[in-house]
Amino acid sequence: MRNYVAVSCLVLLGSFLPARGQSPPASISSCAAKLLRPAESLKSEGVFADQNIDVGYYRLDLTLQPASSSLRGSVLVRCTSLVDSLTQISLDLNGGMKVDSVTSGSARLSFSQYPLGLIVTLDRTYRRGEMVTLVVVYGGLPAATGYGSFEFASQGSSPWIWSLSEPTGAPDWWPCKDTPTDKPDSVDIVVTCPSPLKVGSNGSLVEVRDNGNGTLTYHWAERYPIATYLVSLAVADYVVLTDWFHYSPTDSMVILNYVLPTSLVSAIQPLGFVPSMLQFFSDKYGLYPFIREKYGHAQFGWGGAMEHQTMTSTSNFTEGTLAHELAHHWFGDMITCANWPSLWLNEGFATYSEALWQEWRHGEAVYRADMRDMMPNAKAATGTLYVQDTSTVATLFAYDRVYAKGAWVLQMLRHVLGDSTFFRTMRAYADDPRFRFKSATTEGFQSVCEETAGTAMGWFFSEWVFGEGYPHYLFSWKVAKVADGFDVTVTLRQKNPGSNPAFFTMPVDIALSSPERDTTVVAFNSVNGESFHYLLPFRPSDVSLDPGLWLLREASIDSGGLPVSFTLDQNFPNPFNPGTTITYHMAQRAGITLAVYDLLGRSIATLAHGTSEPGTHTVQWNGTDNAGRRAASGVYICRLTSEAATLTRAMILLR
């Protein structure tokens, strides 16, 4: 999912847009909140999410009535009993939907409806492993919770209807067991609507039937496992743009785009990228998971986009949005976060995949810029990446956290593992039978990382997924001449504002450079205040930490109270008569000469010569030369020299 609510809201307000990478100002957040529906409190899953059954199949057979903003129809639920004696089944369904009947075969079943669900008493007791089929006939005005789980709108004079169930809005319009951990293997979505509206939905289009009464029936069949929140429909007077993904010399998959006539001009060019995106992500993560069906887009009216399985719903067709939603088909749709606190497994992965697409298409510099733009948001993430508060869509889908920081955590994992192991890990995760077409938790993903990396990775996930904040590095360095080169000592400290964790174990790149040469080394920093020694064939004049910006971090020179560089202050007082004070600062121990010259370059007085310790030093000049004579009025140059640099200041003596 990508949320542009704040942006569309800005248009309404005529306010200003935040620059990329900046947090929207507070006024926008509150504005976004106003667009949300009341009763925002989210459940972590369906209230019932009946643990006694395993659902294998749903058939939704719905008739949309735009004139009354209502729908009527039936949902067939086929499930298997997971208990020894199953006598009732609970389904999640918003009480706004009135149930007319529930049947099982020819038996009419009794049921009780509650505000958030339906409890059905079965015709007999079902044993473990036995299959039960229910048909719920119902209808009403669907509620629109979250970001608007079911909307009746219009486009010109024509109806425009769509669903957006993520995270827990599916029961607002159809009865189901609403949890990402119980995906049916198969769903049929049969929708009847006024002609000539077209219906976009999941899976393959089996049939379009003209009912001869001014209505059309669209039958879509999804034959891959699908989470209930990904079951969708989008209905409007669309133009259908068809394209193809040629994934082998002999095989192709259709791409169906349902676009409003008014958006055709802006949609056609970016939609042209989709076959290359399908190829790119197939190369990275394994062949597009729903290859026997299709990919596509259906335009909807919510100000963002949503990765509805095999048919993304979107309000815009920008390249970034298209890449994000397509990447979700591996991470989100094929492998779904097992619970909403683990949402970063969907959103962090899709957001990072967007950056990978940029890297592939536009080069590393654009990838770097993309990640750098996201950095302030990732740093602004509150709490842990594992979402503690899933009570509203605003907290669950907070951009800074699950999107920006989620993507940054994957970039850091790439840095920790190295490119080859990182991409092997992503591929192995997508291929893993424990998660493929099922759901996953952070621990599941971690286990794949550990298998590919061949090492324990708990420290990384504890810090970055279950911990808060990011490290604030203070670093210092010194150089000593040794027999066979230069011994460079780099010391890393962390002064982190938070305590969870108080210290981040991470590999940190350190660049050591002189004007002529440079080298980058990796310090695996696992202890606070750790020092690393490097023997170099040259004397570095500069040391920088994480120059490639791989880490979410702050970094500054650790002065430890000492000067951070070799500097010469302006003398004081100046002009002066008869004496003045000269102050200089040493970052490290070195041989120096401090001397006064006239403007012709003649040496007047030597004030200091020899080894000077790190720290701040003051020297008096009483206005006399080396022979003890009073110097004349005029401008003098104070010059401080060391092996590394020469610093000068002009001083004025007024007699």
Strands 233-236 and 198-201 turn out to be: antiparallel
Tokens 């009794």 correspond to what residue?
110
Q: How far is the CB of 385 from Zn ion (least distance, A)?
A: 15
Q: How far is the CB of 98 from Zn ion (least distance, A)?
A: 34
Cα-to-chain-centroid distance, residue 299: 24
Q: Which is nearer to Zn ion, 271 or 306 (CB)?
A: 306
Q: Which is nearer to Zn ion, 152 or 344 (CB)?
A: 344
Q: How far is the CB of 409 from Zn ion (least distance, A)?
A: 15
**Is the bond preceding 167 in cis, omega lying within 30 degrees of 0?**
yes
Q: Which is nearer to Zn ion, 348 or 471 (CB)?
A: 348
Q: How far is the CB of 270 from Zn ion (least distance, A)?
A: 17
Kindly indicate which of the ranges 80-88, 141-149, 238-246, 341-349 contains the residues binding Zn ion, using the contact rule CB under 5 A: 341-349
| C-alpha closest to that of 193 among 59, 70, 63, 301 | 63
Q: How far is the CB of 407 from Zn ion (least distance, A)?
A: 11
Cα-to-chain-centroid distance, residue 492: 28
Q: Among 164, 193, 231, 350, which residue interacts with Zn ion (rule: CB under 5 A)?
A: 350
Q: Which is nearer to Zn ion, 92 or 347 (CB)?
A: 347
Kindly indicate which of the ranges 168-176, 215-223, 339-347, 549-557 contains the residues binding Zn ion, using the contact rule CB under 5 A: 339-347
The verdict on 402 binding Zn ion (CB under 5 A) reads no
Kindly indicate which of the ranges 30-38, 345-353, 420-428, 537-545 contains the residues binding Zn ion, using the contact rule CB under 5 A: 345-353
Q: Which is nearer to Zn ion, 94 or 353 (CB)?
A: 353
Q: Do the Cβ atoms of 389 and 36 come closer than 8 Å?
A: no
Q: Do the Cβ atoms of 320 and 367 come closer than 8 Å?
A: no
Kindly indicate which of the ranges 172-180, 295-303, 340-348, 479-487 contains the residues binding Zn ion, using the contact rule CB under 5 A: 340-348
Please give the size of the binding site for Zn ion, defined by CB under 5 A.
3
Enter the tokens of residue 421: 């192991």
Cα three-residue angle 14-15-20, rounded to 5 degrees: 125
Q: Do the Cβ atoms of 603 and 631 come closer than 8 Å?
A: no
Q: Which is nearer to Zn ion, 228 or 580 (CB)?
A: 228
The verdict on 1 binding Zn ion (CB under 5 A) reads yes
Q: How far is the CB of 156 from Zn ion (least distance, A)?
A: 29
The verdict on 230 binding Zn ion (CB under 5 A) reads no
- Exposure string of 410-442, with b = 16+ CB inside 10 Å and e = fewer, is bbbbbbbbeeebbbbbbbebbebeebbbbbbbb
List Cβ<8 Å contacts ≥24 apart for 244-252.
244/275, 245/274, 245/275, 245/278, 245/279, 245/288, 245/295, 246/275, 247/278, 247/279, 247/282, 247/287, 247/288, 247/291
Q: How far is the CB of 552 from Zn ion (least distance, A)?
A: 20
d(CA 414, CA 493): 23
Kindly indicate which of the ranges 81-89, 91-99, 344-352, 641-649 contains the residues binding Zn ion, using the contact rule CB under 5 A: 344-352
Gyration radius of the chain over CA positions: 33
Q: Which is nearer to Zn ion, 177 or 324 (CB)?
A: 324
Cβ contacts of residue 199 below 8 Å, gap of 6+? 191, 193, 216, 218, 220, 233, 234, 235
Q: How far is the CB of 317 from Zn ion (least distance, A)?
A: 16
Q: How far is the CB of 405 from Zn ion (least distance, A)?
A: 14
C-alpha distances in Å from residue 430, one per residue of 114, 427, 569 = 39, 5, 60
Q: Which is nearer to Zn ion, 53 or 350 (CB)?
A: 350
The secondary element (H helix, E strand) that includes residue 532 is strand 530-536
Q: How far is the CB of 2 from Zn ion (least distance, A)?
A: 5
Q: Which is nearer to Zn ion, 336 or 494 (CB)?
A: 336
Q: Which is nearer to Zn ion, 406 or 540 (CB)?
A: 406
The secondary element (H helix, E strand) that includes residue 204 is strand 204-210
Kindly indicate which of the ranges 1-9, 13-21, 137-145, 239-247 contains the residues binding Zn ion, using the contact rule CB under 5 A: 1-9
Which residues contact Zn ion by CB under 5 A? 1, 347, 350
